[in-house]
Amino acid sequence: AQSVTQPDIHITVSEGASLELRCNYSYGATPYLFWYVQSPGQGLQLLLKYFSGDTLVQGIKGFEAEFKRSQSSFNLRKPSVHWSDAAEYFCAVVLLSGGYNKLIFGAGTRLAVHP
C-alpha cells in the first residue's frame, strides 16, 4: 500500500538558517508528490508539487523540493528560514493511475523557528 513517511516529528531551527524536511514515499510507480503547510488554526496551503519533468521544483515562499527516485524521497528545502515559516508541514502522495482521487499524507513535521 502507498505510504508517506516524515521521519522528523519536530524540528527547531534558528531564523536565517537553512532547512530541510525529509519525506519518503512507498509506491510502485512514479507518484504525484506535494508539500502542504498548515499554520496554527489554518487550513492546508499547497507549497509545491511534482508531477513529472525537472526533479527540482520551486514553490511559494522560497521553498523548493527535489524528487529523487532512487531514494524514494521528496525533501523540502529552504535556504534561509523566516520566523513566519513556523508551522506544520505535510508531504503527500496521490495515485497516478487513478488521477487525483486521494491524497495520502505523512504524519507531518512541526517546525519551530528561534529568533
Partner 1 sequence: EPEVTQTPSHQVTQMGQEVILRCVPISNHLYFYWYRQILGQKVEFLVSFYNNEISEKSEIFDDQFSVERPDGSNFTLKIRSTKLEDSAMYFCASGENKVTEAFFGQGTRLTVV
Footprint on this chain of partner 1 (rule: CB under 8 A): 32, 34, 36, 42-46, 49, 51, 90, 92, 98-108
With H, G, I as helix, E, B as strand and everything else as coil, classify residue 97: coil
**Least spacing, CB of residue 18 vs partner 1, in Å:** 26
**What's the CA angle centered on 95, arms 98 and 22, to 5 degrees?**
170
- Minimum separation from the CB atom of position 4 to partner 1 (A): 9
C-alpha cell at 78: 529552504
- Asked if 25 contacts 77 with a C-beta cutoff of 8 angstroms, the reply is no
Q: Which stretch of DSSP H or E encloses residue 22?
A: none
Amino acid of residue 61: K
Taking the complex as a whole, the smallest distance from the CB of residue 44 to partner 1 amounts, in Å, to 4
Cβ proximity to partner 1, 28 vs 43, nearer residue: 43
Q: Which three cell numbers stand for residue 90?
A: 505535510
Between 59 and 81, CB nearer to partner 1: 59
CB of 73 to partner 1, least distance (A): 18
- Shorter beta-carbon distance to partner 1: residue 81 or 109: 109
